[in-house]
Amino acid sequence: MNKLFFEALKNSTDEEYFTYFTAYLISPIITGIKPSSIISLTNSKKNMLNIWRENKIEFLNSLDLEYIILRKKEDSETVLIYNKNNLAKVLSCKKNRSLLEGHGYNNLDDIQSVLLHLKDRFKIEDCPHEIGIFLGIPLHDVKDFIDCKDKPCLLCRYWKVYSNEEYSKEIFEKYDMSKELVVNYLLQGKNLKFLYNNFAA
């Protein structure tokens, strides 16, 4: 993590910490190269959960992002934050749809219906494996993770890579670049919306 950004986090108020750290976590969504991310929120540090519950709409609206709570407890929430347009593109892919249909998903053109089914799946499983599709993980790695437990893992960073290692490395580099860009924008007080437009272009 950028040293200046680390210092900014250390010296921030709870509200600033929430904004900075959450933006850092979802950097690849902000830059438009990832459809969604899962974050887990508690009050164990800087009252993240309380601030999320009070400010989530304002925070996400400022980034043109949306959310669904996948699992909620009194002291924690597991949340999927997503870019609606980018997630719709992922769900429109025929091969992705085929895998999701195999896990009981219907009405794949209706994002809210799909996300509600995902939420129901989180009631059954701790973390349903098809979540990888929503997170933008390549289909071949999602399928291998589900079906080929004995297949050697070539690389493990943002996800477990089972094939096409070089392609995954390129995506990992974009994720890292996203984090650096978001950090720099935050430190300079720039509007993160412009980062999406510039990066996506």
Phi-psi region of 127 (alpha: psi -120 to 50; beta: other; left: phi over 0): beta
Measured distance CA(28)–CA(135) in Å, rounded: 10
Decide: pTM greater than 0.85.
Answer: yes
- Which contiguous run of DSSP H or E holds residue 171? helix 165-188
Give 122's contacts (C-beta < 8 A, 6+ positions apart): 70, 71, 78, 128
Tell me the mean pLDDT in the region 128-149: 94
In tens, the pLDDT along 57-106 reads 999 999 999 999 999 999 999 999 999 999 999 999 999 999 999 999 99
In tens, the pLDDT along 165-188 reads 999 999 999 999 999 999 999 999
Give 199's contacts (C-beta < 8 A, 6+ positions apart): 31, 32, 33, 178, 181
Contact at 8 Å (CB) between 103 and 130?
yes
Whether the pLDDT of residue 201 is over 60: the answer is no
